[in-house]
Amino acid sequence: MAIDPLDNPLQKASAQDGTPGMPPDLVRFDHVVKRFGDHVVLDRLDFGVQRGKHVTLIGPSGSGKTTILRLLMTLERVSDGVIWVDGEPLSHMRGPDGELRPASEKYLRGARRKIGMVFQQFNLFPNMKVLQNIMEAPVNVLGIGREEAEARARELLDLVGLSDKVDAHPSQLSGGQQQRVAIARALAMRPEILLLDEVTSALDPELVAGVLDLLRDIARTTDITMLCVTHEMGFARDISDQVLMFDAGRVIESGPPEKIFSDPERDRTREFLSAVL
Ligand code: ADP
Ligand code: MG
């Protein structure tokens, strides 16, 4: 894919340089391109998530949804374009003259603190007990004292209904319980944005509802911003302020869930929904 040099957001962003024009969204993808070799996965992707909103990304398998979340989690680097979080560049940092340059590792470590992610495959630390799994990052990344981190971890375990599992190892838990721990672990960092990547896809069917109920509770009772990838359309309908239909590297349609699920504009959206609903 050729990228139009006149349409280069790096130049636009550096020209704007902290002036009005800066995106007001908590998260903004500005012409983000992600390539793996020659394969263009995200093709000048533009979208935003406003603070406190719950946004769901839907779209076919292999279309790049996980890549979007991994870019936000700084587990991948953009090929082009800029990701903004809270008005600051995430993918980039400012040079001495305010121009944007690729972010250093150190900058990324700071920038990613606002963001928590829960993965399809839980990804708990297998050698640590449940309590340590939750305390690890607050202590070692945020520098919170052990006592405070432990008190918070216990509170979160209570929230996710696993107070009796503090001393268990992940292998002693069901998938649903492991995913609850992973949710508690993400919340322990007090992120401003919670990224959820098909968090119930790897669960046995009877465990799905409990995890979705927990997430509904979190969506209802906290002001955390959520960006969620899911194939659970009922859940998406319940929690979403906005649904983005993603295909071929771009958002092709977006709107409130009632609109997208009941009366989509695009044939591609209709086709996709009829395959998954
Ligand atoms: P989705 O989550 O929508 O199913 P992904 O973001 O996982 O899609 O993947 C989008 C595309 O990018 C797929 O074709 C996948 O094979 C490719 N891809 C993802 N990660 C990598 C990687 N690290 N290296 C090469 N290709 C990748
Ligand atoms: Mg995925």
Q: Is 240 in the pocket of ligand 1 (CB under 6 A)?
A: no
Which atom of ligand 1 is nearest the CA belonging to 76?
23
Segment 192-209 shows an average pLDDT of 95
- Closest ligand to Cα 121: 2
pLDDT of 51 higher than 50 = yes
Which atom of ligand 1 is nearest the CA belonging to 229?
2
Q: In testing the pocket of ligand 1, which one of 33, 42, 58, 67 has its CB within 8 Å of the most ligand atoms?
A: 67
**By alpha-carbon position, which residue is closest to atom 4 of ligand 1?**
62
Q: Is 274 in the pocket of ligand 1 (CB under 6 A)?
A: no
Q: Is 67 in the pocket of ligand 1 (CB under 6 A)?
A: yes
pLDDT of 148 higher than 50 = yes
pLDDT of 52 higher than 60 = yes
Tokens linked to 67: 């890549």
Give the global pTM.
Answer: 0.90
Residue 139 C-alpha to ligand 1 middle, in angstroms?
32
Provide the 10 A C-beta neighbour count for residue 124: 20
- Closest ligand to Cα 61: 1
What is the pLDDT at residue 277? 82
Q: Is 125 in the pocket of ligand 1 (CB under 6 A)?
A: no
Tokens linked to 110: 């700071």
The string of pLDDT tens digits covering residues 91-125 is 899 989 989 998 998 898 888 889 999 999 999 99
Strands 115-118 and 193-197: parallel
Q: Is 63 in the pocket of ligand 1 (CB under 6 A)?
A: yes
Phi and psi, residue 137, nearest 5°? -70, -40
pLDDT of 6 higher than 70 = no
Reported as a pLDDT band with limits 50, 70 and 90, residue 24 is confident
Phi and psi, residue 43, nearest 5°? -115, 90
Q: Is 230 in the pocket of ligand 1 (CB under 6 A)?
A: no
Q: Is 70 in the pocket of ligand 1 (CB under 6 A)?
A: no
What is the pLDDT at residue 274? 94
d(CA 127, CA 129): 7
What is the pLDDT at residue 21? 54
Residue 140 C-alpha to ligand 1 middle, in angstroms?
30
Reported as a pLDDT band with limits 50, 70 and 90, residue 192 is very high
**By alpha-carbon position, which residue is closest to atom 18 of ligand 1?**
36
The residues near 41 (Cβ < 8 Å, ≥ 6 apart) are: 34, 35, 63, 64, 67, 249
pLDDT of 255 higher than 60 = yes
